[in-house]
Amino acid sequence: MRIVLGDGLLGSAVIGQTGWMYISRSKDDIDIRRPSTWKSLIPNGTTEIINLIANTDTYSDDARNMYDINYSAVVELVRFCNNRNIKLVHYSTDYVYEGSTTNAKETYKEKPTSHYAVSKWLADKYIMQHCNNFLICRGSQKPDPFPYDTAFDDIMGNFDYPDTIAEIFVQMIKADAKGLYNIGTETKSIHDLALKTHPTVSRAAAPSHMPKDVTMDLTKMTEFLKDWLDGEK
């Protein structure tokens, strides 16, 4: 049995595509920082917990909240999953590669700088070092339809709309992928993506503090899913 934590942009898309059971702050009044609010809601027989809860206020100055949700809560999730023999599926972010290199591979040295990126990176590292059974997927999604009248044309990445990223993410879960994977679609600017749902969106330059290149190498994901889909035929 799989259970999803969170019903935000990506969580809602995953739940909509799969019908998997989920718990969230809006539906169940859970606080991921307080294990007592969610532990009792995990049914016996759960085999996978899919963590889609995060503080994604990318440049927030509230560092404590960022680290409490994105890192400390994940530490508790790892302990819970290990004790219950549950696989932890964790959605991370392409922002861990900010300041890194173009087309970053999973094996590249990350250089996160913002509180958001560092908090997510620390969680990734903790999971990889301490979790008995896990899948980490690094990716990014933008609101659908694109809600703004301008879009950055100088930020490049493998982001896409939630339904598209969710489809890939769900395939990775169903294929029982393990370890760390970059997931996404072809390299594009935010403006390129925005045009798909907002044909009149204007170009804009991103503020200087935002990373301009969070592109990832998707070879590992592509090869894994190809082998899995070939085996399904």
Q: What angle do CA 69, 2, 5 make, to 5 degrees?
A: 20
Q: What is the structure's pLDDT at 232?
A: 73
Q: What is the structure's pLDDT at 86?
A: 98
- 36-91 per-position pLDDT tens digit: 999 999 999 999 999 999 999 988 889 999 999 999 999 999 999 999 999 999 99
Q: What is the structure's pLDDT at 100?
A: 67
Burial of 44 (0-12, 13-18, 19+ CB in 10 A): exposed
Q: What is the structure's pLDDT at 9?
A: 96
- pLDDT above 90 covers what percent of the chain? 90
Mean pLDDT of all residues belonging to the chain: 95
- 167-211 per-position pLDDT tens digit: 999 999 999 999 999 999 999 999 999 999 999 999 999 999 899
